[in-house]
């Protein structure tokens, strides 16, 4: 990460304004995942370029220091590189999510993202088995395309991360998945905790993630073990995963609540601001709302990983172990 981006994070944290945001720029997607219904949505929406650039400016003005550009499939948007470039100009650390790796190998996409200042490519990676991967995402030859994209990415300054959903196929063999991801050339691994959502913009569910709480806990305990080995570059912090285990056993015992709607939030393709992908509440429209509108109280209603993991940093003295763990563990969370 450029020094300017690091300084921006430090400045906003010291001022109490540090925020992390996901910005979904389209609901169009090539993948047809069984656990996500975004690809079924009609009509297909692509955010207006100029309005989206204004959105990124406003997010920076609100203290957002890390921006994840998501979708749908964000690489389907013709202006995704422009959005990365604007985030970089505003000193925002940024990541681009990807579910269809063949899009990374076309039109000099990797070089263009590198030139725009992209810090991280997060690529969906559900299994170490090519057949299972192709079936789970409904993209033929997805592993071959991914291997090609990763080989090309190694010739750039871009960092790559395998975004691994814990689901029925891998909760009991996460180390196999991590080994395959590492061997393919991923720099980091992030784990996504399975959750259901009836959100009108981000519906999640399906048989693949219909795991019992005991199975999810089994996967998380193994993930903690794997993270502590330091072999695979897992960015999820053990203290956060233990917090999710407590939540799954009894929500009342979760020590750290989620700050979705205050320090972390989701902006959809209509520019509406939501506490997270899952909750139906709209806090306002990013083009017209003010920073003071981001004042939703802490929440303990789900186990959505991105929001709960980042929320761990905003708990005063209770957050000290989180900061220490992030500094002594894997570098690259930001």
- Over the stretch 42-97, which tens digit does the pLDDT of each residue have? 999 999 999 999 999 999 999 999 999 999 999 999 999 999 999 999 999 999 99
Distance linking the first and last C-alpha atoms of the chain: 8
Check whether 331 has a pLDDT greater than 90: no
pLDDT at 98: 98
CB atoms within 10 A of CB 51: 11
221: three-class secondary structure by DSSP: helix
Kindly report the backbone phi and psi dihedral angles of residue 5, in degrees, each rounded to the nearest multiple of 5, phi listed first: -70, -40
Confidence at residue 318, expressed as pLDDT on a 0 to 100 scale: 75
What does DSSP assign to residue 327?
A: H
Find the DSSP H helices in 100-196.
109-116, 130-137, 142-153, 174-184
Half-sphere exposure of 94 (CA within 13 A, CB side): 27
* Spatial strand order in the sheet of 93-98: 188-192, 159-165, 120-124, 93-98, 64-70, 19-24, 264-267, 272-274, 284-285
Q: How far apart are CA 19 and CA 313, in angstroms?
A: 10
pLDDT in tens, 114-148: 999 999 999 999 999 999 999 999 999 999 999 99
Does the pLDDT at position 327 exceed 80? Answer: no
| Separation CA 233–CA 226 (nearest Å) | 9
* pLDDT per position as a tens digit, 205-241: 888 899 999 999 999 999 999 999 999 999 999 999 9
Of the listed ranges 134-138, 201-205, 297-301, the least confidently predicted one is 201-205
pLDDT grade for 317, boundaries at 50, 70 and 90: confident
Q: Work out the widest C-alpha separation in the chain, in whole angstroms.
A: 50
Integer Rg of the chain from CA = 18
What are the chain's domains?
Answer: 3-328 (3.20.20.70)
Residues whose CB falls within 8 Å of the CB of residue 247, separated by 6 or more in sequence, listed in order: 253, 254, 300, 303
Measure the CA–CA gap between 240 and 323, rounded to whole angstroms.
11
Q: Where are the beta strands (DSSP E) in the chain?
A: 19-24, 64-70, 93-98, 120-124, 159-165, 188-192, 264-267, 272-274, 284-285
For the chain, what is the mean pLDDT?
A: 93
Task: Name the token pair of 331.
Answer: 């570098």
pLDDT band at 200 (very low <50, low <70, confident <90, very high): confident
pLDDT of residue 333 exceeding 50: no
Query: pLDDT tens, 22-43?
Result: 999 999 999 999 888 889 999 9
Confidence of residue 322 (pLDDT cuts 50, 70, 90): confident
Greater model confidence, 120 or 1:
120
- Average pLDDT, integer, range 244-255: 96
């Amino acid at each position: 990460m450029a020094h300017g981006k690091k300084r921006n994070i430090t400045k906003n944290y010291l001022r109490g304004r540090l925020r992390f945001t996901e910005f979904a720029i389209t609901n169009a997607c090539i993948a047809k995942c069984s656990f996500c219904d975004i690809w079924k949505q009609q009509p297909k929406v692509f955010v207006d370029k100029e309005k989206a650039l204004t959105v990124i400016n406003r997010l920076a003005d609100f203290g957002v220091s890390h921006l994840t550009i998501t979708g749908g499939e964000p690489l389907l948007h013709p202006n995704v590189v422009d959005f990365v470039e604007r985030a970089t100009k505003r000193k925002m650390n940024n990541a681009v999510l990807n579910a269809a790796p063949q899009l990374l190998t076309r039109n000099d996409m990797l070089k263009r993202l590198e030139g725009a200042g992209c810090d991280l490519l997060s690529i969906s990676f559900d299994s170490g088995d090519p057949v299972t991967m192709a079936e789970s995402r409904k993209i033929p030859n997805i592993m071959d395309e991914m291997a090609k994209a990763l080989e090309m990415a190694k010739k750039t300054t871009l960092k790559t991360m395998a975004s691994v959903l814990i689901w029925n196929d891998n909760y009991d063999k996460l180390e196999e998945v991590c080994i395959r991801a590492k061997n393919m050339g991923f720099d980091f691994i992030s784990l996504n905790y399975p959750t259901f959502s009836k959100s009108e913009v981000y519906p999640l569910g399906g048989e693949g993630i219909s795991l019992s709480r005991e199975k999810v806990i089994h996967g998380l305990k193994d993930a903690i073990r794997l993270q502590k080995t330091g072999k695979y570059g897992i960015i999820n912090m053990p203290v956060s995963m233990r917090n999710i285990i407590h939540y799954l056993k009894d929500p009342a015992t979760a020590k750290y609540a989620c700050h979705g709607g205050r320090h972390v939030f989701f902006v959809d393709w209509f520019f509406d601001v939501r506490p997270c992908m899952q909750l139906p509440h709209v806090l306002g429209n990013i083009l017209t709302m003010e920073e003071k509108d981001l004042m939703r109280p802490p929440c303990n209603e789900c186990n959505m990983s991105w929001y709960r993991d980042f929320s761990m940093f905003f708990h005063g003295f209770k957050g000290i172990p989180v900061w220490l763990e992030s500094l002594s563990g894997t570098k690259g969370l930001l």
